């Protein structure tokens, strides 16, 4: 669906309707995230001392802290070189993080919670890491927050806002 949306944008551009820059973020997390996304689910569940259910433990995601995503969007929106292009705006870390790694990190940081592994949910597409080389080259994009730092920041913020995660 997302790819088809991109193709529609490109078609309208070819017709002269508007200029565009397409941004592809991935596994974005951070302050004020909604609770039904993977990192927020993991963190709130761990903080509640509940069981984190991981469907597809070996699935690799490009966990990207919200500040890095915002930096990439601003760079793409403010530079003429970005017009008519598609950019992956992710962490694209050399160290790969699986869903299981992310769940274990949330449990470690929260100091509680447990882990339950299940088969991958086949109704969700298989994901992986995206190359950010084009965004680095064209825009000077450079993500600054590594996954462990980002998870710790997210935990600290949640801890200061217990109304958002306590039941």
What is the 3-class SS of 12-47, one letter each residue? HHHCCCCCCEEEEECCEECCCCCCCCHHHHHHHHHH
| CB-CB contact of 136 with 142 (8 Å) | yes
Total domains present in the chain: 1
What does the pLDDT read at residue 94?
76
Percent of the chain with pLDDT over 90: 68
Task: Write the CATH number for 64.
Answer: 3.40.50.720
pLDDT-based confidence at 138, cuts 50/70/90?
very high
Structural domain span for residue 103 = 2-164
Assign 126 to helix, strand or coil: coil
Strand partners, 117: 54
Reported as a single tens digit per residue, the pLDDT across 15-69 is 988 899 999 999 999 999 888 899 999 999 999 999 999 998 899 999 999 999 9
- C-alpha pair distances (Å), 142 with each of 52, 61, 127: 31, 18, 22
């Amino acid at each position: 669906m997302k790819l088809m949306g991109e193709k529609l944008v490109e078609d309208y551009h070819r017709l002269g309707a508007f200029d565009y820059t397409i941004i592809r973020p991935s596994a974005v997390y951070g302050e004020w995230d909604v609770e039904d996304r993977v990192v927020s689910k993991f963190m709130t569940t761990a903080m509640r001392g509940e069981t984190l259910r991981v469907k597809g433990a070996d699935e690799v995601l490009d966990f990207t802290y919200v500040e890095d995503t915002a930096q990439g969007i601003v760079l793409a929106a403010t530079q003429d070189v970005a017009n008519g292009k598609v950019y992956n705006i992710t962490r694209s870390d050399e160290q790969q993080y699986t869903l299981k790694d992310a769940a274990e990190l949330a449990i470690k940081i929260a100091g509680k919670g447990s882990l339950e592994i299940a088969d991958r949910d086949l109704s969700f597409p298989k994901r992986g890491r995206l190359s950010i080389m084009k965004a680095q080259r064209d825009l000077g994009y450079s993500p600054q927050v590594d996954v462990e730092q980002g998870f710790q920041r997210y935990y600290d913020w949640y801890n200061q806002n217990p109304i958002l995660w306590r039941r």
